[in-house]
């Protein structure tokens, strides 16, 4: 898998080789009453490395930055038409935490537009603080999956093209 890593440490989503008989019982834990499900915008606190990673995105790609959770600081490149997110070891974006369902969500791409689609997860998928079944992701969107808070950013070249339209 090291051949999928880029020098700038963006984690590239790998292809999924799921087999139908490989589905043990889901053991996802629900959030307790004390869980913080509030939406708190991140502000402009991106590091130089994160800004450089965003600026380097090729057209028709995006990046998810993990802002909080067990893997805070991780970066995931979205450059395929479907990216799976979940606790299943073969998920393209693997979150090893019991608050994440094995097959939690999918991020789909159509041209340079991205959507997140919840896969009937137990704890739900949130975009900008609202639980969603499906939502379009826009530059700066906050995505919450289990304990993980992520921010979504599209390629600057796609932002420039959208502004020209």
Query: What residues have CB less than 8 Å from 59, skipping those under 6 apart?
Result: 112, 155, 157, 158, 161
Task: List the beta bridge partners of residue 94.
Answer: 86
**Cβ contact 63:77 at 8 Å:** yes
User: Over the stretch 88-145, which tens digit does the pLDDT of each residue have?
Assistant: 999 999 999 999 999 999 999 999 899 999 999 999 999 999 999 999 999 999 999 9
**Residue 91 Cα distances to 43, 126, 134, angstroms:** 29, 19, 19
Per-residue pLDDT of 110-121, as tens digits, reads: 998 999 999 999
pLDDT at 34: 41
Distance CA 70, CA 106 (A): 20
Q: Provide the 3-class DSSP secondary structure of residue 30.
A: coil
Whether the Cβ atoms of residue 143 and residue 125 lie closer than 8 Å to each other: yes
Place of tokens 């509030």: 38
Spatial strand order of the sheet with 142-145 comes to 11-12, 75-78, 62-68, 148-154, 142-145, 125-127, 130-132
Helix and strand counts by DSSP (H, E) for the chain: 2, 12
| pLDDT, position 45 | 81
CA 98 to chain centre: 17
**Among the listed residues 105, 101, 75, the one whose alpha carbon sits nearest the alpha carbon of residue 13:** 75
Q: What is the pLDDT of residues 21-50, one digit of tens each?
A: 555 555 555 554 344 555 555 555 888 999
Count Cβ atoms below 10 Å from residue 65 Cβ, excluding itself: 21
Exposed, middle or buried: residue 16 (CB in 10 Å: 0-12, 13-18, 19+)? middle
For residue 40, the model assigns a pLDDT of 53
């Amino acid at each position: 898998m090291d051949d999928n890593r880029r020098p700038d440490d963006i984690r590239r989503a790998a292809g999924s080789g799921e087999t139908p008989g490989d589905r043990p019982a889901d053991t996802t834990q629900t959030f307790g009453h004390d869980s913080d499900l509030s939406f708190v915008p991140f502000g402009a606190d991106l590091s130089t490395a994160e800004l450089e990673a965003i600026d380097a995105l090729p057209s028709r790609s995006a990046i998810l930055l993990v802002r909080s959770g067990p893997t805070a600081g991780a970066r995931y490149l979205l450059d395929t038409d479907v990216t799976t997110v979940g606790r299943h070891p073969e998920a393209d974006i693997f979150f090893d935490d019991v608050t994440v369902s094995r097959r939690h969500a999918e991020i789909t791409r159509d041209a340079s537009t991205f959507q997140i689609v919840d896969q009937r997860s137990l704890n739900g998928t949130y975009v900008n603080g609202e639980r969603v079944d499906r939502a379009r992701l826009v530059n700066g969107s906050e995505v919450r999956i289990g304990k993980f808070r992520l921010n979504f950013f599209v390629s600057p070249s796609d932002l420039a093209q959208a502004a020209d339209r």
